[in-house]
């Protein structure tokens, strides 16, 4: 059953088209990742689907309700964690949870049990009397998530929830999301971390307000046409310049490695080695690898885009 659906959803701010004809559907109990760089339109999408913004054109439905005209009813059924979630630093963890419980009109009967469950769920029980302002970045994010879950929403919208969070806290955060998925909560998450997007059931690649692809992670990877080579050498920047000049496939820098998308590995490998040898660059390793989402996204973005 579809829990979230958008049809030709568009939002303009004057002459700027922030979201351009977005169409997608998210199933109940699915973790759906919306992936793209800053300015791609991820936050605009979140605000449209949660009823914070009105669409310029197009339609959207959340949990069976249309966003147009039913925004207030939708807000009762969803949890929304914005990039800057509104925690109150002078309140303790418990007081923040109680405050959000009041906002969502959670009945007093059974509230204490629900709060304790969320604290245990997010591993915040030992810190429940600590002021939110004194929590680490990862704990603040987990508290924000607990506050968004206080009214037991059916759909959870998370806008770049792990941005700036350390790797261990990111891992813990995703462990919590997997537990929520087991309870059939639908999770719509945006992220700029392409490695993180690989944890989702399906992903949508968004660039400059347009949806470039939408499929399972493996399905999106199949969109990359050709064979991907990984090159290790001492001077990757220089190697990239020489390979681009020789037009030997699409070249992208990944730290101390190069990823080179070619039509045929058998034909390209000896040519690549010859170009580098002529430039005095020693090849440490050149091998065929499986593409990542980052490879697909880099290939899909038009030249000059970012």
DSSP 185: -
CA distance 268 to 273: 9
- Look-up of token digits 């990111």: 170
Distance CA 243, CA 233 (A): 13
End-to-end CA distance of the chain: 35
Contact 34, 296 (CB under 8 A): no
- Predicted confidence at residue 299, as pLDDT, reads 80
Can you tell me which residue has the tokens 């590995």?
265
Q: How many CB atoms lie within 10 A of CB 179?
A: 12
- Note the pLDDT of residue 305: 43
**Cβ(46)–Cβ(9) below 8 Å:** no
Provide the pLDDT for residue 115. Answer: 95
pLDDT, residue 300, reads: 75
pLDDT digit string (tens) for the chain, length 306 residues: 899 999 999 999 999 999 999 999 999 999 999 998 889 999 999 999 999 999 999 999 999 999 999 999 999 999 999 987 789 999 999 999 999 999 999 999 989 999 999 999 899 999 999 999 999 999 999 999 999 999 999 999 999 998 888 888 888 899 999 999 999 999 999 998 888 899 999 999 999 999 999 999 999 998 888 999 999 998 999 999 999 999 988 899 988 899 999 999 999 999 999 999 999 999 999 999 999 888 888 887 754 444
List, in order of start, the domains of the chain with CATH numbers: 2-221 (3.40.50.300), 227-290 (3.30.70.270)
* 150-193 pLDDT per residue, tens: 999 999 999 999 888 888 888 889 999 999 999 999 999 999 88
**What local confidence, expressed as pLDDT, does residue 193 receive?**
85
Contact between 297 and 205 (Cβ < 8 Å):
yes
Locus of tokens 């969502």: 104
**Which secondary-structure segment (H or E) carries 271?**
helix 265-278
Q: Which residues are CB-contacts of 257 (< 8 A; sequence separation ≥ 6)?
A: 230, 231, 232, 236
């Amino acid at each position: 059953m579809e829990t979230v659906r958008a049809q030709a959803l568009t939002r303009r701010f004057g002459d700027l088209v922030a979201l351009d004809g977005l169409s997608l559907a998210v199933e109940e109990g699915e973790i759906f990742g919306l992936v793209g760089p800053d300015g791609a339109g991820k936050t605009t999408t979140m605000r449209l689907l949660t009823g914070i913004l009105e669409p310029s054109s197009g339609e959207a439905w959340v949990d069976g309700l249309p966003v147009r005209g039913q925004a207030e009813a939708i807000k009762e059924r969803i949890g929304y964690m914005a990039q800057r979630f509104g925690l109150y630093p002078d309140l303790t963890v418990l007081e923040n949870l109680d405050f959000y419980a009041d906002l969502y009109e959670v009945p007093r009967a059974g509230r204490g049990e629900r709060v304790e469950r969320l604290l245990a769920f997010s591993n915040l029980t030992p810190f429940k009397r600590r002021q939110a302002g004194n929590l680490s970045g990862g704990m603040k994010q987990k508290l924000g998530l607990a506050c968004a879950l206080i009214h037991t929403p059916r759909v959870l919208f998370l806008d770049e929830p792990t941005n700036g969070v350390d790797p261990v806290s990111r891992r813990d955060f995703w462990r919590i999301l997997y537990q929520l998925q087991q309870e059939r909560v639908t999770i719509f998450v945006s992220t700029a971390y392409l490695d993180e997007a690989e944890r989702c059931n399906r992903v949508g690649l968004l660039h400059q307000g347009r949806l470039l692809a939408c499929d399972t992670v493996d399905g999106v990877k199949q969109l990359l046409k050709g064979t991907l080579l990984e090159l290790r050498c001492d001077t990757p920047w220089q190697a990239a310049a020489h390979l681009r000049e020789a037009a030997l496939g699409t070249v992208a820098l990944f730290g101390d490695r190069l990823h080179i998308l070619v039509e045929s590995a058998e034909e390209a490998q000896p040519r690549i080695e010859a170009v580098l040898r002529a430039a005095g660059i020693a090849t440490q390793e050149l091998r065929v690898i499986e593409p990542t989402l980052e490879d697909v996204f880099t290939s899909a973005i038009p030249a000059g885009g970012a």
